[in-house]
């Protein structure tokens, strides 16, 4: 690995520890110009170099360069909180991304970043540096540690940190044992929402949310933000999150999460996170039951608003949906049509810089996060920071996250309901018939159409995030949901005498809700979980398509989510950081139930000629394994159809049930599968 790549790794290791402090078992020393050091250490720079640099085997010399004026970024206190739901904080981070990307080469950017690192807020710096590394063509092979490695306290119970440090300091590397992270520790079993803690508080799930927003930042240079169908991806990724959460609720005999339609009503859900905000070295504040939003007046956090402002923004967004057009800043009517309407609407609701009219439509989604995030101290009387809902890497832990996004999804669905149902020519694939669909666990003997979930104990290395902590690996063990690997078998008959190309689309949906009544398709479509999407070649006659679950277009494998990135493990390696964006593989399936929860498995083969786009290639052999939620790097989204097709729109009146819909088209098939949960814990091998 080059000195430049190693230097960037040092920038991202132990982010609250000074950069000059030796990294990686004291083997690497960043040799900085004296004026690059924080002012406190400039007077003793020679002593630091003699004492700390002498023990390091490898010195990385940073040459001084002309550093841009970073005063805009120092407005966010170095030891304060950084909040991406704050427009001012987003602007500062976006400008820092722009300044880093503007550097002529990786070496110069490394020097600028080395100067900035110990002067700026650590969370903002790591956020901006990661985006810059991911989006520059000449730095994409730099290995980027996950946010878990940098700031582990935001993901695990802070009570284990003393144990981790003790184990690391006392025991030699080969003698260390793993420290156990408590499973489901935030509430007692008497709290019904606690049944879903394994989902909301899953480390991989929260890493997914953080990493998605790294790939799709709201504010940065236009070439970074303006990705193909970005607004639609915001809609679809969060729609899938809400659908998956509601399906998990059904598995626990809980009703769907209630959208936050009335912002003036008390919020019955309480949440006390019990994790540490590493920026402040204080726990995230909790929220008591039945708290009420009214306003937020915290100028220092760039959060000043009333409920009326939120309601005004919401009203204007609804007006655009019902009129089928949005107003641009110069008064132009932007159609919310079937082709680009959802993309325009997604950027408006999220309030990215791609919004067609920031002033008119406001900052609805982000401001709602902030207002609930500060509900415990809206006027800053008690000097409390935001709750977990006000922070990207922690927001999905809170039950209200799903109520908030259920309400946002209602907005998007109002738009979708105004579109005409798909016609037969859009749905059919003449000459192609799916004759049979089944699914089976790939290890051992098992019945067809029966899938298995269970608990798994896995390990993660948290040593890189323990500032001034022990050197080397410090391992923690955590428990998470997992499924047995499985494979689909799809029999497709090509009735023509020519080879055809199709897109296989696989969805899973609950058959009924907690009341036991079977869903109509108009209801069920909102709970459709996308499991996979891939391209197949169909030769004339019968085709037997086998697809393994770990090849899903939705998920990223365990190692990409949790594997540690450091100098020793990444020698000579090249990794596309974009590929870390994706749903965690261990959460591909819903939990099911001990008795076996039944689901509809829907498979469709659509005509690739209607699906293909010019530069989005599903089978390019590179970073394509989680494109459903994340798209492809530097390419168009690899599917011309609407995300969620064919279930993003209402069905025709004749398609009452999914069996009515699938039976009308030979290129569709449906079968019933069962997901059985076994309450056992299996260690990852």
pLDDT in tens, 371-386: 999 999 999 999 999 9
Distance separating alpha carbons of residues 126 and 161, to the nearest angstrom = 22
The arithmetic mean of pLDDT across residues 330-352, rounded, is 96
Exposed, middle or buried by CB within 10 Å (0-12, 13-18, 19+), for 455? middle
The token pair at 274 is: 């019990």
What is the pLDDT, as a whole number, of residue 432?
A: 98
Q: Residue 577 — pLDDT band, cuts 50, 70, 90?
A: low
What is the pLDDT, as a whole number, of residue 575?
A: 47
Q: Residue 616 — pLDDT band, cuts 50, 70, 90?
A: low
DSSP code at position 621: S
User: 566-603 in b/e burial notation, b at 16+ Cβ within 10 A?
Assistant: bbeebeeeebebbbbbbbbbbbbbbbbbeeebebbbbb
The token pair at 652 is: 């025709």
Q: What is the mean pLDDT of the chain?
A: 91
What is the pLDDT, as a whole number, of residue 79?
A: 87
Distance separating alpha carbons of residues 136 and 99, to the nearest angstrom = 12
What is the pLDDT, as a whole number, of residue 568?
A: 54
Residue with tokens 């391209």: 535
Element (DSSP H or E) covering residue 555: strand 555-556
The arithmetic mean of pLDDT across residues 122-138, rounded, is 94
The token pair at 208 is: 């997914």
Q: Which of 219, 248, 350, 530 is catalytic?
A: 350
The arithmetic mean of pLDDT across residues 591-612, rounded, is 97
- State the pTM of this model: 0.94
Whether pLDDT at 328 is above 90: yes
What is the pLDDT, as a whole number, of residue 579?
A: 67
What is the pLDDT, as a whole number, of residue 147?
A: 87
Whether pLDDT at 134 is above 80: yes
What is the pLDDT, as a whole number, of residue 156?
A: 86
Phi then psi for 471, rounded to 5 degrees? -85, 160
Q: Please give the C-alpha separations between residue 583 and each of 100, 108, 126, 271, 333, in angstroms, as whole numbers.
A: 29, 35, 22, 24, 36
Distance separating alpha carbons of residues 437 and 430, to the nearest angstrom = 19
DSSP code at position 512: B
DSSP code at position 118: T
Whether pLDDT at 552 is above 90: yes
Dihedral sign, Cα of residue 155, residue 156, residue 161, residue 164: negative
pLDDT in tens, 624-660: 568 999 998 888 999 999 999 999 999 999 999 999 9
Whether pLDDT at 572 is above 50: no
3-state secondary structure of 383: coil
The token pair at 468 is: 């001034």
In terms of Cα–Cα distance, which of 346, 390, 348, 352 is closest to 369?
390
pLDDT in tens, 291-326: 999 899 999 888 899 999 999 999 999 999 999 999
The arithmetic mean of pLDDT across residues 403-420, rounded, is 98
Whether pLDDT at 214 is above 60: yes
What is the pLDDT, as a whole number, of residue 182?
A: 80
Whether pLDDT at 619 is above 70: no
What is the pLDDT, as a whole number, of residue 412?
A: 98
Nearby residues of 177 by Cβ (< 8 Å), 6 or more positions away: 167, 171, 475
What is the pLDDT, as a whole number, of residue 130?
A: 94
What is the pLDDT, as a whole number, of residue 617?
A: 59
Please indicate whether residue 350 is annotated as part of the active site.
Answer: yes
Whether pLDDT at 81 is above 90: no
Least confident of 143-147, 221-225, 369-373, 386-390: 143-147
pLDDT in tens, 38-62: 888 888 988 888 888 788 888 899 9
Q: Bridge partners of 601? A: 508, 671
What is the pLDDT, as a whole number, of residue 576?
A: 43
Alpha carbon 452 to its chain's center: 25
CB 482 within 8 A of CB 454: yes
Whether pLDDT at 174 is above 50: yes
The token pair at 399 is: 């039950």
Distance separating alpha carbons of residues 153 and 27, to the nearest angstrom = 25
């Amino acid at each position: 690995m080059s000195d430049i790549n190693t230097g960037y790794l040092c920038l991202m290791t132990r982010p609250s520890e000074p950069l000059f402090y030796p990294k990686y078992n004291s083997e690497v020393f960043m040799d900085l110009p004296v004026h690059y050091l924080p002012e406190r250490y400039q007077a003793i720079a020679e002593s630091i170099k003699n004492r700390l640099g002498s023990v390091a085997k490898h010195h990385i010399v940073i040459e001084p360069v002309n550093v841009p004026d970073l005063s805009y970024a120092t407005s966010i206190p170095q030891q304060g909180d950084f909040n991406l739901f704050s427009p001012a904080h987003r602007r500062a981070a976006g400008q820092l991304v722009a300044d880093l990307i503007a550097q002529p080469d990786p070496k110069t950017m490394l020097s600028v970043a080395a100067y900035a690192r110990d002067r700026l807020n650590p969370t903002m710096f790591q956020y901006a540096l990661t985006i810059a590394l991911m989006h520059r063509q000449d730095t994409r092979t730099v290995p980027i540690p996950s946010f878990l490695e940098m700031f582990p306290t935001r993901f695990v119970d802070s009570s284990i940190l003393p144990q981790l440090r003790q184990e690391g300091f006392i025991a030699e590397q080969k003698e260390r044992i793993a420290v156990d992270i408590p499973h489901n520790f935030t509430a007692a079993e008497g709290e019904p929402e606690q049944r879903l803690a394994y989902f909301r508080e899953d480390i991989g799930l929260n890493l997914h949310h953080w990493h998605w927003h790294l790939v799709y930042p709201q504010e940065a240079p236009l070439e970074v933000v303006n990705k193909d169908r970005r607004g639609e991806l915001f809609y679809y990724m969060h729609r899938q999150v809400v659908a998956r959460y509601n399906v998990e609720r059904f598995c626990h005999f809980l009703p769907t999460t209630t959208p936050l339609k009335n912002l003036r009503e008390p919020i019955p859900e309480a949440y006390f996170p019990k994790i540490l905000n590493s920026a402040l070295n204080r726990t995230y504040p909790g929220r008591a039951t039945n708290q009420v939003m009214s306003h937020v007046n915290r100028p220092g956090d760039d959060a000043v608003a009333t409920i009326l402002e939120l309601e005004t923004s919401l009203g204007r967004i609804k007006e655009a949906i019902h009129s089928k057009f949005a107003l641009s800043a110069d008064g132009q009517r932007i159609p919310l049509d079937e082709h680009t309407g959802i993309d325009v609407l997604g950027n408006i609701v999220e309030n990215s810089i791609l919004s067609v009219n920031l002033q008119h439509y406001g900052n609805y989604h982000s401001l709602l996060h902030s207002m609930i995030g500060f509900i415990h101290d809206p006027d800053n009387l008690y000097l409390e920071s935001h709750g977990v809902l006000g922070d990207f890497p922690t927001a999905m832990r809170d039950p209200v996250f799903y109520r908030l996004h259920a309400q946002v999804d209602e907005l998007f669905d109002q738009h979708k309901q105004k579109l005409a149902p798909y016609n037969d020519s859009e749905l059919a694939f003449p000459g192609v018939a799916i004759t049979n669909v089944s699914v089976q666990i790939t290890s051992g003997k098992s019945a067809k159409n029966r899938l298995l979930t269970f608990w798994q104990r896995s390990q993660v290395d948290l040593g890189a995030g323990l500032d001034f902590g022990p050197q080397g690996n410090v391992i923690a063990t955590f428990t998470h949901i997992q499924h047995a690997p499985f494979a689909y078998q799809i029999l497709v008959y090509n009735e023509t005498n020519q080879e055809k190309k199709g897109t296989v689309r696989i969805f899973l949906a609950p058959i009924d809700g907690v009341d036991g009544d079977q869903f109509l398709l108009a209801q069920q479509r909102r709970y459709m979980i996308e499991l996979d999407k891939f391209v197949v070649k169909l030769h004339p006659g019968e085709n037997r398509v086998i697809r393994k679950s770990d090849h899903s277009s939705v998920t990223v494998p365990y190692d990409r989510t949790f594997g540690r990135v450091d100098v020793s493990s990444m020698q000579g390696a090249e990794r596309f950081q974009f590929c870390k964006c994706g749903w965690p593989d261990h959460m591909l399936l819903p939990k099911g139930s001990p008795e076996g929860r039944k689901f509809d498995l829907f498979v469709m083969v659509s005509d690739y000629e209607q699906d293909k786009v010019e530069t989005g290639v599903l089978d390019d052999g590179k970073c394509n394994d989680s494109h459903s939620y994340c798209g492809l790097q530097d390419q168009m989204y690899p599917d011309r159809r609407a995300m969620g097709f064919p279930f993003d729109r209402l069905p025709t009146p004749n398609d009452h049930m999914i069996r009515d819909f699938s039976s009308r088209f030979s290129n569709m098939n449906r079968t019933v599968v069962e997901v059985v949960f076994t309450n056992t814990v299996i260690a990852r091998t």
